[in-house]
Amino acid sequence: MDSDTYVRNGPEWRVLIVGGASGMGKTRVSRDLARRYGVPVVELDDIVEALVAVTRPEHLPEVHYWRTHPEAAHREPEFVVERQIAIARALAPAVEAVVANHVETDTPVILEGDYVLPGLAAAGGPVRGVVVHEDSEARVVSNYLAREPQEGPQHHRARISVLYGRWLAGQARAAGVPVVAPRPWSDLPRRVDHLLGAEAPLPSH
C-alpha cells in the first residue's frame, strides 16, 4: 500500500486524542495531521465554552472555575495544577460522550486539548491517543514567547504547564498511551503517526 492510498482510505482510528499541557504543540500537530488525513479537529476549549454557556457555576463549579476565580491563575503552580486536574476530571463525561458519538457514527475526528485525559484512549481500537510533552521550562517559555510575544516571557505559566504536563504524561504511560516530545517540530506529525502504528508514512507537503 503506498502512502497516498493510505491517506485516501483514512486512518484506522475513529478518534485520535491529542493531549498535553498548554504550550506543548498539541494544536500544531493536530492541525497538521487533520490536513493530512482530511478529518476535522474538535478543540476541547469549544466544549468548555458550550458547557459554560448552558450551565451555572453551581451546576458545574469546576468547569466555571477560572471565570469565578480568575485571581487563582496567579497562585502557586502546584495549586493551579490541582485545579487543572480537577477540571479535566469534571469534563471527562462530556469528552467521553463526544468520543462515543464519533465511534458510533463512524466519523473520524481529532480531539485535542489541555483537559483531555489520556485514559480515554487506553482501550486502543477505534480510539487512539498521544500526549505531547516538553519537560524543559525554558523551551515552554520560548514556545509562549513565539506565540504571544506581546506577553513577554511567561515563566509562571511555563512552570504550570510543565508540572501539569508531567502529570498527564504519567497518566498516559500508566494507560499505555504514547508520550512524544514536540521537538523537532518538523517531523512531529510523522513521529506521532509512527507511535500510533501507521501502516505507511504520510506524504510530505
Q: Which residue has the cell 482501550?
A: 123
Give a yes or no: residue 191 inside a domain.
yes
For residue 34, the enclosing domain spans 16-195
Determine the Cα–Cα distance for residues 69 and 126; give it in Å rounded to an integer. Answer: 38
The answer to whether residue 1 is domain-embedded is: no
Instruction: Judge whether 77 lies within some domain.
Output: yes
Q: How many angstroms separate the CA atoms of 34 and 38, rounded?
A: 6
β-sheet bridge partners, residue 111: 17, 42
Q: What is the pTM of this model?
A: 0.88
Residue of 152, 177, 161 lying closest to 18 (CA atoms):
177
CATH assignment at residue 59: 3.40.50.300
Sheet bearing 41-43, strands edge to edge? 41-43, 109-113, 15-19, 127-132, 179-180
Is residue 9 in some structural domain?
A: no
Does 151 fall in a domain? yes
Domain tally for the chain?
1
Position 8 in a domain: no
Amino acid identity, position 35: R
Whether residue 63 is contained in a domain is answered as yes
Q: What is the pLDDT along the chain (205 residues), one digit of tens a residue?
A: 334 433 445 678 999 999 999 999 999 999 999 998 999 999 999 999 999 999 999 999 999 999 999 999 999 999 999 999 999 999 999 999 999 999 999 999 999 999 999 998 876 689 999 999 999 999 999 999 999 999 999 999 999 999 999 999 999 999 999 999 999 988 898 899 888 875 433 333 3
Supply the Cα-derived Rg of the chain in whole angstroms.
17
Q: Report if residue 36 sits inside a domain.
A: yes
Residue 80 CA to residue 158 CA, distance in Å, equals: 12
